[in-house]
Structure 1
C-alpha cells in the first residue's frame, strides 16, 4: 500500500496520526524528498531519511499530536554549525508535520427531530455517528442514511450498551423519556463527553434519582446539562448548532477530561 493510500485509510478509520513531509532541503541531506506517518506512540511508516534528524522529527511529531497543532521544523545537519545537530551531512532540512486528529464520534441517543438536525450537522462536519433509540419507526436508515450504525431496543439502555461507547464517544442524550436510564448507562463507559437535553428542574430531578441509585456527585458533575453553548438558541436547528459547538470546543482542548465511569 502506498503511503498516501495509508493516510487516506487512517483518515477514514478516524485515527490520530501525523504526516511528516520534507518541504525543503539544501546541500547534502539523507533524502531530498520523503514522507513518514508517525503514530502517537512514536512508531512510524515511511521515512524522511533516517538517522538523528528522523529521530528528532519523530519526537516533534509526537509532541504535535499531543498539542493537536501542525508545525514546521528545520534542522542543520552539521555538528559544527551553530544550532546544528550531531550529523555530518552538512545540509539543512525543513519538514512540515501535519496533524490528523480523530473527529468526535457521536452517539445520538434518541432519534427525534433534534437528533435528525444533529445528524445533518455531523454529516457536514464529517463526524461519524450512530443512533440509539427504543422506537423502531424513528431509528431507521431512511431517517439517518449516513449513520455508521443504528441500535434499537425496547429497552433504550440496552440499545446504548450495544453501541459500546469508547473514550472517543460523545454521548448526546436527546430521548423522549428515560433520560435517567440512558445517563446511568452512559456513565458505565470511559467516554469523552455526555450531554443531556433537559431543563434545570428536570436535570435536578434526574440527578437526585441517580444519586439514590449510587451515582456519585463527582460523576454527575461531568454531565453537561442543560446542553450546548449559550447562544440564545430556540429552534431545533439552533439548539443542534449550540450542541455541536460545545462538542467542537471540548474536542479541541489540549487535555480533554474523560468522563469517569461507574463500576459495572
Structure 2
C-alpha cells in the first residue's frame, strides 16, 4: 500500500473513530505511526474527587462522561470538561451511556449501595478495558464477596482495580485524583513499547484535517 493510500485509509478510520496506522521505511528501518481514537473515561459519581479527576483526565486526552443521580452534581458548570453528562439513577445512566470494550470506568459514588448498583449493571454487560472502584480495602473486599455470592464471576470481579488508583500515599482529594490518573496511564501504556526502545510512535490526538 502506498503512503497516499495509507493516509487515505487512516483518514477514513479517523472519521469513524477507529484506530489507524502508517508504516514508513527510512534508512532500512521500518517505522509505524499509530493513530488511536480518543479513549472514553466514564465517571460514575460526580462528587469531590470527580472534579479534579475530570480535569486531569481531559488534559491527558480522555473523552469524559460523568453520571450522577443528583442534578446539583450532574451538570456542565460543575464539569465543564465533560463531553456528556447523564443525570439518572446509576443503572439507567450506565444503560444510556452504553459501555464499550475500549472504555475506562471509575466507580466513585457516594456510598456502598450505589457502588453495588453500578457494578451489578456493569458486570451484566460488556466489560470495559479498565474498571476501578473507590473505597477502603476492607469495604471493597466485602462488596466483591457479596457480588460473588449473588452469582457474579470471580474472574470478572478480580479484574476490578480496587481500591482504585496507584498506591502513592495519596491523602488529599487532588492527590487521590492523581493516583487514579496514574493508574489510567499505566493501563493505557500497558502494551505500548517505550519510544526509546521502539520504532512505533503513538498519537492519541488524531488531526483529521491534517490527515485529509
The aligned residue for residue 197 of structure 2 is none
Structure 1 alignment gaps of length 5 or more: 26-71, 74-95, 256-264
Q: In the TM superposition, what is the alpha-carbon distance from 1:22 to its structure 2 partner? A: 6.5
Query: Would you identify which runs of 4 or more consecutive aligned residues in structure 1 move more than 2 Å?
Result: 3-15, 19-25, 101-104
Q: Is 1:106–2:41 an aligned residue pair?
A: yes
Distance in 2, matches of 1:12 and 1:145, equals 25
1:42-99 deviations in Å (ceiling 9; x for gaps): xxxxxxxxxxxxxxxxxxxxxxxxxxxxxx42xxxxxxxxxxxxxxxxxxxxxx4211
- Structure 1 residues 174, 9: CA separation in 2 closer, same or farther (over 3 Å shift)? farther
- Count of aligned pairs: 185
Q: Is 1:254–2:191 an aligned residue pair?
A: yes
The correspondence of residues 18-97 of structure 1 with structure 2, limited to 5 A, is: 18-21=21-24, 72-73=29-30, 96-97=31-32
The aligned residue for residue 223 of structure 1 is 160
Three-state SS of the structure 1 residue aligned to 2:191 is: coil
What TM-score do the two structures reach when normalised by structure 1?
0.63
Structure 2 alignment gaps of length 5 or more: 1-5, 193-212
Of 178, 184, 188, 2:120 maps to: 184
Three-state SS of the structure 2 residue aligned to 1:113 is: coil
Distance in 2, matches of 1:9 and 1:113, equals 40
The aligned residue for residue 174 of structure 1 is 108
The aligned residue for residue 178 of structure 2 is 241
Of 156, 159, 162, 2:90 maps to: 156
The aligned residue for residue 133 of structure 1 is 68
Q: In the TM superposition, what is the alpha-carbon distance from 1:207 to its structure 2 partner? A: 1.4
More helix by share: 2
Rg (Cα) greater in structure? 1
What TM-score do the two structures reach when normalised by structure 2?
0.77
Is the 8 Å Cα contact of residues 51 and 79 (structure 2) preserved in structure 1? yes
Higher relative contact order (CA 8 A, sep 6+): 2
Three-state SS of the structure 2 residue aligned to 1:229 is: coil
Distance in 2, matches of 1:108 and 1:210, equals 21
Distance in 1, matches of 2:14 and 2:189, equals 17
Distance in 2, matches of 1:133 and 1:232, equals 28
Is the 8 Å Cα contact of residues 9 and 20 (structure 2) preserved in structure 1? no
Q: In the TM superposition, what is the alpha-carbon distance from 1:230 to its structure 2 partner? A: 1.2
Of 55, 59, 69, 1:124 maps to: 59
Q: In the TM superposition, what is the alpha-carbon distance from 1:24 to its structure 2 partner? A: 7.1
Q: CA RMSD in A?
A: 2.5
The aligned residue for residue 201 of structure 1 is 138
